């Protein structure tokens, strides 16, 4: 199966939103269309494509402390465990050459395992990091450059 990993273009926005809708359907986690366009143009967004279908994506932006913050890392269920997620991350790592931070819910076991494999280390455990009255525990993870 030939999967290409490329920097996203604005024309990819609908494919990214469709993938998000399928993955986060129970959690309503689709991005705002205009935010996604901003991230594509001004941040770092890569997509994995099978033929012309978007089957994975990673989104990150540069923080005020000159680190990258990853907001999302997703691969279509049918395409998981084939190394596509790792390829997306490696593309981001080599494009940005910066330390990387992310905050993950402990529910996302495969993502926690994947980050550990990619060299991320636990900075601290967080409860309710955004003051949104959530009960979930989250992990602040960091990967040195």
Distance CA 129, CA 101 (A): 14
Contacts (CB under 6 A) with ligand COA, residues 40-99: 72-75, 80-86
Cβ-based nearer residue to ligand COA, 20 or 98: 20
Mark 9-28 with x for binding to ligand COA (rule: CB under 6 A) and - for no binding: --------------x-----
Q: Kind and range of the H or E element at 13?
A: helix 13-23
- Give the nearer residue to ligand COA in terms of CB position, either 51 or 81: 81
Closest-approach residue to ligand COA (CB): 85
CA-CA distances (angstroms) from residue 127 to 69, 90, 93, 132, 135?
19, 29, 28, 10, 7
Binding site for ligand COA (CB under 6 A): 23, 72-75, 80-86, 104, 108, 110-111, 113-114, 117
């Amino acid at each position: 199966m030939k999967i290409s990993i490329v920097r996203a273009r604005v024309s990819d926005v609908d494919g990214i939103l469709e993938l998000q809708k399928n993955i986060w359907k129970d959690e309503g986690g689709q991005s705002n269309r205009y935010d996604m366009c901003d991230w594509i143009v001004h941040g770092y967004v890569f997509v994995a494509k099978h033929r012309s279908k978007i089957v994975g994506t990673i989104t990150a932006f540069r923080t005020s402390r000159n680190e990258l913050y990853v907001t999302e890392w997703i691969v279509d269920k049918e395409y998981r465990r084939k190394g596509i997620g790792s390829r997306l991350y490696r593309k981001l790592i080599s494009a940005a050459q910066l330390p990387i931070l992310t905050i993950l819910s402990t529910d996302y076991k495969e993502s926690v395992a994947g980050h550990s494999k990619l060299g991320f280390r636990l900075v601290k455990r967080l409860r309710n990091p955004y003051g949104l009255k959530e009960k979930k525990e989250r992990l602040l993870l960091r990967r040195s450059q």
